[in-house]
Amino acid sequence: MDNVAVVVDDLEAAVAFFTALGMELEGEARIEGAVADRMLGLDGVRSAIAMMRTPDGHGKLELTKFHAPAAATAAPLDPPPHTLGLHRVMFAVDDLDDTIARLRRHGAELLGEVARYEDAYRLCNLRGPSGIIVALAERIGQVS
């Protein structure tokens, strides 16, 4: 897999949020023209993207802001965690409490509470920019 793309309504806020999570901005670009129109099956595509990279360099998240045509909202703005389709990205973190505190400064809100899975993980779900659900996992022991 090369990357996962997420459409956002505020690219700057999304970049700040995922930077606070520990991702690095790899690059930004404007995407428009015939190739984008054909690939997406849309007319008049004008978008801006920011490619975010995980610190280990193995994972990428493409944040996309559509200027034209405007982003569609077929689903509820803040769908619940059990909605069909791709709706969340999970990240492994070293310090769950510190990560939550950093992301809250960028508007993140816990969906439930921090939960413990056996003696192996502390887990939570946060809602981030544009309603994105971000799951966090802190390994605290061995998986049984």
Tell me the pLDDT tens digit for each residue of 84-138.
Answer: 666 688 999 999 999 999 999 999 999 999 999 999 999 999 999 988 889 999 9
Architecture of domain 88-139: Roll (3.10)
- 3/62 Cα distance (integer angstroms): 7
8 A C-beta contact, residue 13 and residue 107: yes
Query: Domain boundaries in the chain?
Result: 4-68, 88-139
Asked whether this chain's domains 4-68 and 88-139 adopt the same fold, the reply is yes
Task: Compute the mean pLDDT over every residue in the chain, rounded to the nearest whole number.
Answer: 90
**52 falls in which pLDDT band (50, 70, 90)?**
very high
CA contacts within 13 A on the Cβ side of 102: 15
Angle, helices 11-20/96-104, rounded to nearest 10 degrees: 160
Length of the chain: 144
Write down the pTM of the prediction: 0.88
CA contacts within 13 A on the Cβ side of 95: 8
Q: Return the CATH number of the domain spanning residue range 4-68.
A: 3.10.180.10
